[in-house]
């Protein structure tokens, strides 16, 4: 089925829910055969992050130039920084028949929904609000003010999960990973995705 277009998989969820950790676990696993679309951001690099691996780190000026050139599927300003998904990689990869995986903020996911309504929207939900709060505090990289802003943002983002097709509760990284893979596989088994095999069989029947 190499000529069939790949799926666009969008993983999102509130800040602090563990989207990045689940994404990393997925891509550390050899069985995961979707392509990761690396986001672009203007936020500071955190310890251990690598440019071109975790994100493409850009200046505000560079980012705004790319916005002008319509080079993003989605972008958002979030806690004072831009985050965006470069458009070219996503289109090319899907056309080649590979699934593309986006891990993005909820504001961005809303824009993707407008442009790719056929994408798989997966919301990563926290087991509880307490857990979400403790993760946002525990990260320990930000000031109190930023943490409080992020908590209130995260709560607002939670109310957006009604826009998603699937919800995966992140109570275990291994389970979250397995469930996301299963959602993708099931969608490849949708009738519309196996039409080539169907057409071939039906042609044989007519012979």
Which residues make up each annotated binding site? Answer: 13-20
Tell whether residue 199 is a contact of a copy of itself (CB under 8 A).
Answer: no
Tell whether residue 197 is a contact of a copy of itself (CB under 8 A).
Answer: yes
In sequence order, the β-bridge partners of residue 103 are 11
Please report which helix (H) or strand (E) contains residue 31, including its range. Answer: none
Nearer to a copy of itself, 73 or 124 (CB): 124
Min dist. Cβ of residue 183 to a copy of itself (A) = 5
Question: Which residues are annotated as part of the binding site for ATP?
Answer: 13-20
Contact residue for a copy of itself among 105, 164, 170, 177 (CB under 8 A): 164
Q: How far apart are CA 30 and CA 13, in angstroms?
A: 24
Burial letters for 165-178: b for 16+ Cβ neighbours within 10 Å, e otherwise?
A: ebebebeeeeebbe
The values of phi and psi at residue 100, to 5°, are -110, 135
Burial letters for 82-104: b for 16+ Cβ neighbours within 10 Å, e otherwise?
A: bbbbbbeebeebbeeebbbbbbb
Q: How far apart are CA 14 and CA 51, in angstroms?
A: 23
Tell whether residue 125 is a contact of a copy of itself (CB under 8 A).
Answer: yes
Tell whether residue 158 is a contact of a copy of itself (CB under 8 A).
Answer: yes
Instruction: Mark 104-123 with x for binding to a copy of itself (rule: CB under 8 A) and - for no binding.
Output: -------------------x
Residues making contact with a copy of itself (CB under 8 A): 123, 125-126, 128-129, 155, 158-159, 161-162, 164-169, 179, 182-183, 185-187, 189-191, 194, 197-198, 201-202, 204-205
């Amino acid at each position: 089925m190499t000529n069939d277009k790949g799926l666009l998989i969008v993983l999102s969820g509130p800040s602090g829910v563990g989207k990045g950790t689940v994404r990393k676990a997925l891509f550390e696993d050899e069985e995961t055969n979707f392509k990761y679309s690396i986001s672009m951001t203007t936020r500071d690099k955190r310890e251990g992050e690598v440019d071109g691996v975790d994100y493409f780190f850009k200046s505000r000026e560079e980012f705004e130039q790319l916005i002008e050139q319509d080079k993003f599927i989605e972008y958002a300003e979030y806690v004072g920084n831009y985050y965006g998904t470069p458009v070219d990689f996503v289109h090319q990869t899907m056309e080649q028949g590979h699934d593309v995986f986006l891990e993005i903020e909820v504001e961005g996911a809303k824009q993707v929904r407008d442009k790719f309504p056929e994408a798989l929207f997966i919301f990563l939900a926290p087991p509880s609000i307490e857990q979400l709060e403790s993760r946002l505090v525990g990260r320990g990289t930000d000031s109190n003010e930023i943490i409080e802003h992020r908590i209130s943002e995260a709560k607002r983002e939670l109310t957006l999960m009604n826009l998603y097709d699937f919800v995966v509760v992140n109570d275990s990284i291994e389970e979250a990973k397995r469930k996301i893979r299963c959602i993708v596989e099931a969608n490849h088994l949708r009738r519309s995705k196996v039409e080539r095999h169907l057409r071939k069989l039906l042609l044989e029947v007519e012979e």
